[in-house]
Chain A
């Protein structure tokens, strides 16, 4: 049975439809990503799945329970890492885990023997008595991940788990999430980091304006939605060059500031042509998920 089934989900705030008919279904043991720009409806979708927001219409089945009707029962088997840290600043690391366990009805005597293991998993071995205020951003996020595991959940919901972390801290989180997947946990992740989605997710959905614009494994999305190669052309003359010359070599060209992005199946002739333009610098690379994302959701800012 799927750990999460969402069908025809809709939610509006003040007449604006934030989630506009979303359907997806997680497979047991996979990492599924919801990828979208700010305001695409990712967090609202997660809140609906947890039963913290009542959808206007649509059905949600979370670990076999209908939500919001039986959201409390469903949440017994869910672990959540929220977007903003909300560890208890008045408690030590160990107390955070014990107190959180109580919210699941877990007795202190059951949690205590597991604390060392949970902290070890989070790369916080020996930090039982550490004051939360003394922990770095990365340590706090890892402790939040450990806290989400106190009830040994079937499904983890992670809302932008690495936003605001430095590269070292992000890699450590990714490595831990992969371990959890190897243990058979299912993960639903929201992110706007393409590398994160590409590394972790078996499947992902690109969401924009509350609608799904594409769904599939990352490689497949790249193959389906975009040309195989990208030549980025930089320099003061790039926009002018793009306007006059680029279309001869590339069917699709996007200009952003002083950079022209030329999407091509084969870059040979374009690169040969560019050799005659010493003022233009070029970067030739395979197309990636970010190219798909920008093609499908556009380049304009979302604030």
Chain B
């Protein structure tokens, strides 16, 4: 919701967006368990592989074990990945391959409703993914305090930001192959630069300066302290950055998709 409040006026936006959200939810519900396990498997393999394997060779980082450090980063990167996959591959299927959006817009539902439904759905799915990781790492004892519950709203707005960014790419994509560029040139570098695997202050100052502008940096800066029982520094700035990315990216995506579908 927060994303649309920050946008320029959208008179065409209505509660019908929720019907679009529910459509996606109904599809997901049919395959919920395999989907959830699929979302968990990949990050868990990395977490255990690198966390125990590599972590065994490493000293503590800022007073915590490497695997606990990595676990907090994994919550953020999984949220990012889940939102991106949904807003790219799944949304593109619905927009382009299955022509689902076209069918919906023949009913009294506008493009703004469809896009808002997609945005909130991708963010919800990302929240589920991030939360699932959070639950697993809590059970494993990598979460220090109930303050970690505050990570949930952060996960949601991280989902919003990456869902909105993903929708821009979908708006521009001629086919599924196009998404490789986004993952290779944007998502993967972000995982390496934004403090998921190692503290970003290990990087050269110039790279750090770039990383400070990337949305994943803000998510990590909020989630990691919360999991370790600390109140993050500069909360407002990080939250505002994620919400700003969500709002601006959604507005751009909407403009591009309108040009693509309603010309």
A residues apposed to B, CB below 8 Å: 13, 50, 52-54, 72-73, 75-76, 78, 80, 82, 84, 86-91, 95, 99-100, 102-105, 151
- In Å, the complex CA distance between A127 and B103 comes to 21
Q: In the complex, which of the residues B26, B106, B261 contacts A50, with contact meaning CB atoms closer than 8 Å?
A: B106
Q: Are A95 and B26 in contact (CB under 8 A)?
A: yes
Give chain A residues whose Cβ lies under 8 Å from the Cβ of B104: 103
State which of B107-115, B133-141, B143-151 sits at the interface with chain A: B107-115
- In Å, the complex CA distance between A53 and B14 comes to 20
Q: Are B19 and A103 in contact (CB under 8 A)?
A: yes
- In Å, the complex CA distance between A198 and B110 comes to 35
Query: What are the interface flags for B30-58 relative to A under an 8 Å C-beta threshold, 1 for contact and 0 otherwise?
Result: 10000000000000000000000000000
Interface SS, B side = helix
Q: Are B102 and A103 in contact (CB under 8 A)?
A: no
Q: Are B26 and A52 in contact (CB under 8 A)?
A: no
- In Å, the complex CA distance between A53 and B263 comes to 6
Give chain B residues whose Cβ lies under 8 Å from the Cβ of A86: 98-100, 102-103
Query: What are the interface flags for B13-33 relative to A under an 8 Å C-beta threshold, 1 for contact and 0 otherwise?
Result: 010100110110011001000
Give chain B residues whose Cβ lies under 8 Å from the Cβ of A88: 23, 27, 98, 100, 103
- In Å, the complex CA distance between A260 and B240 comes to 75
Q: Which residue of B lies closest to A75 (CB)?
A: B108
Residues A105 and B16 in contact in the complex (CB < 8 Å), given A52-B262, A73-B108:
yes
- In Å, the complex CA distance between A89 and B98 comes to 8
- In Å, the complex CA distance between A278 and B27 comes to 67
Residues A82 and B106 in contact in the complex (CB < 8 Å), given A99-B26, A102-B22:
yes
Give the top 5 A-B pairs by smallest Cβ distance, nearest first. Answer: A103-B107, A86-B99, A80-B106, A86-B103, A102-B19
Give chain B residues whose Cβ lies under 8 Å from the Cβ of A103: 16, 19-20, 104, 107-109
Residues A82 and B23 in contact in the complex (CB < 8 Å), given A72-B110, A75-B108:
no
B residues apposed to A, CB below 8 Å: 12, 14, 16, 19-20, 22-23, 26-27, 30, 98-100, 102-110, 261-263
B9 to chain A, nearest CB (A): 16
Give chain B residues whose Cβ lies under 8 Å from the Cβ of A89: 98
- In Å, the complex CA distance between A54 and B263 comes to 7
> Which of B12, B20, B26, B108 neighbours the largest number of chain A CB atoms within 10 Å of its CB?
B108
- In Å, the complex CA distance between A218 and B110 comes to 37
Q: In the complex, which of the residues B20, B27, B105, B109 contacts A90, with contact meaning CB atoms closer than 8 Å?
A: B27
- In Å, the complex CA distance between A72 and B12 comes to 9
A115 to chain B, nearest CB (A): 16
